[in-house]
Structures are given as C-alpha cells and as structure tokens.
Chain A
C-alpha cells in the first residue's frame, strides 16, 4: 500500500460547482498534513495546511479525519483558475522533516 494515496482523476466540473478530493495515508504516526497545488509543467506550491479542527481559506476547506486516516479538500464555487493538480502531503512521522507527496488529483474546471 502506498504511504499516501489519491484518486488521480481527472475531475471535470463546471464553473461554480463544488468539488471535493480525499487523500488517505497509511502511517498513523504522521502529524502534519498539507495540500499543495501544481499547475501543468510548473512547480508545486503550498495551498494550505490541514489542522485537526479543520481550516478554511476563502473557497477552500481542508479537513482531517485521524480515525480513518484521510484528509480532504473542498473547493466551493470553482473557478477556471482552479484547474490544476492538487497534491496531498503528509509528514513521514512526528517531528520529521521528511514529507511524502501523493501523486495528485487533477481538477479541470470547465466554462
């Protein structure tokens, strides 16, 4: 089993739609979780951290479910500019600098 698993997609959604991605992780010792965004042929960029209590940043909401070992990303009112690949990132163990990147979920927002 991969340490971090994501549905590769693509998720094709119309503008204005709400879309959600999940990511599962295998190591129960992981403590830090993030979503990165990667545009086609570009470098990844941090989108948001995922806190135990969940967190929201504008149209984006990230949540963590420790019991089931998954994190989620919800995007409301999708924009064309949201089209990208969303990478789930998990640290290998508590306090470690080593981060495991998922293969990403591709989102395409259609006009």
Chain B
C-alpha cells in the first residue's frame, strides 16, 4: 500500500519567508509525528497528533512553528519568518493505533534557508 508521503521533497527559501510542509500519512494511522533532523543530529521531536485529541506541541522550538492536521489525515507544518537555523530535513511519521512505536516515516522535506 501507499506509504507516508511528504511534499515538497526539497524547498529552498529566503530568510524571513514563510514555508508550508505537507504530510500525507498512511490511511488508517491515527497517530502522526513531525520531527526535524539536522546534519549529524538525531531526530528532534516537534509535534504529535493522535486522533481528535489535542496535539502535543511541546517540541516546537518557537512560536514561528505551527502545525495542523485536518480531518485526522493530512498535516501541514508551517514555519513563519524562516531563519537559517531552520535548515534541516523535516520528517513526518505515522503509526497505527496500538503500535505507536512502529513509526512509518515519509521521505522528508529538505529545507534550506538562504
């Protein structure tokens, strides 16, 4: 079946611009995660959605970052007024109810802020 998809695969933007990153999880997966991976760094948790519950936004690094999940499916991560330190690969993952540990990752969006 279809895996997690993300778009765009690459995004180059100028400092100060806003960007939107999209994630389509696997159908039926109620849990959705956003992570950030900088060069040589581990995955940094950003935000978690589970069904209709309030999202866990505790990992968002600043108020420039926000995320939505519409209809329990597609999610959008928005970064406002991008900074150079936002450059990273942004990974989305989804998991099946009851198997939260088995996260299926999308291919990521490589964001470069110039």
Contact = CB atoms under 8 A, between A and B. Distances in A.
Given A32-B101, A46-B102, A102 B42 contact: yes
A98 B45 contact: yes
Interface stretch (B65-73, B75-83, B105-113): B105-113
Given A43-B107, A97-B31, A97-B50, A87 B101 contact: no
Interface string A35-54: 00000001111100100000
B108 A43 contact: yes
A87 B93 CA distance: 15
A32 B42 CA distance: 18
> Interface size bucket, B side?
10 to 19
Interface in B29-51: 31, 35, 40-43, 45, 48, 50
Interface residues of A, number: 21
A87 B40 CA distance: 12
B102 A87 contact: no
Contacts of A87: 42-43
B27 interface: no
Interface in A68-111: 87, 89, 91, 97-104
A4 to B, nearest CB: 7
Contacts of B103: 44, 46, 99
A34 B101 contact: yes
